[in-house]
Structure 1
Amino acid sequence: MRALLVVNPAATTTSARTRDVLIRALASEMKLEAVTTQYRGHARDLGRRAAESDDIELVVALGGDGTVNEVANGLLHAGPAPGLPRLAVVPGGSTNVFARALGLPNDAVEATGAILDALRDGRERAVGLGLASGTPDTDDEAVPPRWFTFCAGFGFVGGVVGRVEQARERGKRSTHALYLRQVVRQFLGDPHRAGGTLTLGRPGEDPVTGLVTAMVCNTAPWTYLGNRPVYGVPGASFDTALDVLGLTRLSLPSATRYATQLLAATPEKGLHGKHAVTLHDLTDFTLHSKVPLPLQMDGDHLGLRTSVTFTGVRRALRVIV
């Protein structure tokens, strides 16, 4: 079997020595080409190259959720197809939501062993992903179609990710404490949290209006605090389309209540209350805002947008589990 290994050299939880050990372990079981990414979007380009190849059967992403997102977008640049290479993920980031949601160990060495075992046993899974794109009836710059592997956020959630990226550009390390600080700063600085500007529209359904933020997920948990899974939308699954959690108010009492609920959430019960809106297994819908709001996908801030269309695609990509 011929495989392409995409290595992010900036992966926060793996050293150069660890990456060398992992490369040797994988190369002992397959004909492996290892490529180190050199620029933003390089992993996407490598994924596309693999999708267009005649003989690459597997792409292994060694990095965090950003690397995985790029590889998935490269593999799916022309859409899902039966003959696409399979994807395997070796977690190397600070959170590794997609890999952990698949049930892989969060340790890179252990995950590599699990992947090799799965390849020997022929274990794989076709997972559903989300696709987001700009709508043509808006005046802002269209959002190029982009796949996300576990979560997108519009409004407040997107603003938090934007603040985290700004802090990292200033040299701050990506830690859970950094995220929590930016949540507080976004809360204090968000002018729309008392009256939402977002509307969710679905074909044949009444619109949901007045949302402060919307989180779109295709799996649960949607993130982790250390080793603690956080279930914002417990019903989300790789086996269905997309789930949405929307909040119509973020006052100090409601934000405190939601934070408490998130910490206590389980696979059966997530956020709830009169200001929480949960929708399950949606295939097509649009989020439109009266003012430009921040958008993020898989932890990558994509700037300010006014309208985004989401599509849930079942069995979009085969992954090694």
Structure 2
Amino acid sequence: MFFSYLYRLQTRLIVKRLCEDTSTGLYKPDNCFLKGGKMTKKGIWTGVAAVAIIILLLLVLGTSKKEGYTVAVVTGTTFEKEARKFPGVAEVKLYEDDNQTLTELSTGRVDAVITDRLVALTGIEKGGYDNLKLAGDLLYRETIAVALSKEDDALRQAINKALNQIIADGTYAEISRKYFGTDIMLDVTRPVTFPNEAPASDDSLEKVLKEGVLSFAMSGGYPPFNYYNEKNELSGFDVEIAKAVCKKLGVRYKPVTTAWDGIIEGLRAGRYDGVWGSMAITEGRLNIVDFSDPYYISGAQLVVRKDSPITGTESLQ
């Protein structure tokens, strides 16, 4: 809008100047355009000057760019809110998964990505993004757990018990080493989401045991936690941990893939029993769903190209 106003103003000034009567200084349109029904030389030059100014200003407008960086995040994640905090971020672009965000970063279409640290490390290695690196420390820690409906306390407590069992018997560590080369819960103190609560008396666990199946939703595009492998099979850390928990409960595991930005609404609508897809516990989410005790702790990480001037969050201030 500013450039549009500017080129209109400049054009008027040029036209006025070229159309002035040199003897009186007064504006005379006849001097400029038509005289005896024919275009005058001055009229021609006025038109040329006006067109040149318009073209120049349109070029400036077309090539102008917002000051600041463009950051890519997965839509519906806590990373979007974090990216918008920084004054040095001019634009936050939203994508369906981190396969897309890292590709966009590697090819230069965005300046940085904010995602989970473990996702970033694995994504860079598996995707062969030799031109990408992690920048700076964690932006913040995230506690990752299973989201469940608020009325399903008995099911949630049973999942907590099964999680403790697979951690104690070494199943968790074995799965963790498969995906990360180490036990990511080693020497980590797991917080309890609802400490000192009484045993639940609702029928949510009874219903699941009767049906013999437990369904969990995820995006299916969040490697190494949940993704489709080269055989087009759903795989990942989330998937295998959930399978191990279902085995402890004596039920069949049923994964459901869905868009992340509507995944909680699907849970509340009863389309699946829970969300087991690396969802972080937040105050906002706790207002509408409950969470199990965490099954891993991670955090938000900034990812940039190796030749980027961005060295960490201080570069985004």
Q: Taking structure 2 as the reference length, what is the TM-score of the superposition? A: 0.26
Q: Taking structure 1 as the reference length, what is the TM-score of the superposition? A: 0.26
Larger radius of gyration: 2
Bigger proportion of residues as helix: 2
